């Protein structure tokens, strides 16, 4: 067997795999962060991960956006997670509940690896333009630290821009 050092590109691929292929663990990890984010930035009455449902969804290619100095850029997120608020319900009896909350929130992830992985200018510009223009679409940088694999990894979510 031949051993080779991991390249930065390969480490990035490992980080994306952690975020995109192990979705049930991501539901828990991201769900906890999303509760705080929705309460703080969107004014949602959520206090625990039981108040939301997190699901991975198919990606869409976002249209070209004017960003920065009126330059046109296209950004393809690494993945998309939908967070539905479950706390706004009315009990109809017989165990039936009518959900009266707002539409779900879509979190678009750009995964970066390590302490120094940063967004490219065009990525940041498009992410900011999407957040400013689209209701309930929230671009997020996800920083994954793979330096302690195979035993553990670190993950940190950051909203690109504050809405309010």
Cα–Cα distance list, 117 to 20, 111, 120, 135 (Å): 18, 9, 9, 28
Does residue 132 contact residue 36 with C-beta atoms inside 8 Å? Answer: no
Does residue 49 contact residue 28 with C-beta atoms inside 8 Å? Answer: yes
Length of the chain counted residue by residue: 164
Rounded Cα–Cα distance for residues 100 and 34 (Å): 20
Residue 64 corresponds to which tokens in the numbers above? 């070209």
Percent share of the chain, pLDDT over 90: 41
pLDDT, tens digit, 9 for 90 and up, residues 12-61: 999 999 999 877 888 999 999 999 999 999 888 889 988 899 999 988 76
Q: What is the pTM of this model?
A: 0.82
């Amino acid at each position: 067997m031949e051993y080779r050092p991991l390249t930065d590109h390969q480490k990035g691929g490992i980080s994306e795999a952690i975020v995109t292929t192990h979705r049930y663990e991501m539901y828990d990890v991201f769900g906890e962060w999303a509760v705080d984010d929705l309460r703080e930035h969107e004014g949602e009455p959520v206090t625990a991960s039981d108040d939301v449902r997190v699901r991975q969804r198919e990606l869409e290619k976002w249209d070209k956006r004017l960003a920065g100095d009126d330059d046109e850029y296209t950004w393809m997120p690494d993945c998309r997670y939908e967070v539905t608020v479950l706390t706004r319900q009315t009990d109809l009896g017989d165990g039936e509940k009518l959900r009266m909350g707002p539409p779900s929130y879509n979190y678009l992830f750009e995964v970066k690896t390590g302490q120094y992985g940063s967004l490219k200018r065009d990525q940041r510009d498009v992410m900011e333009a999407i957040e400013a223009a689209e209701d309930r679409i929230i671009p997020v940088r996800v920083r994954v630290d793979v330096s302690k694999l195979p035993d553990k990894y670190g993950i940190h979510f950051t909203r690109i821009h504050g809405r309010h």
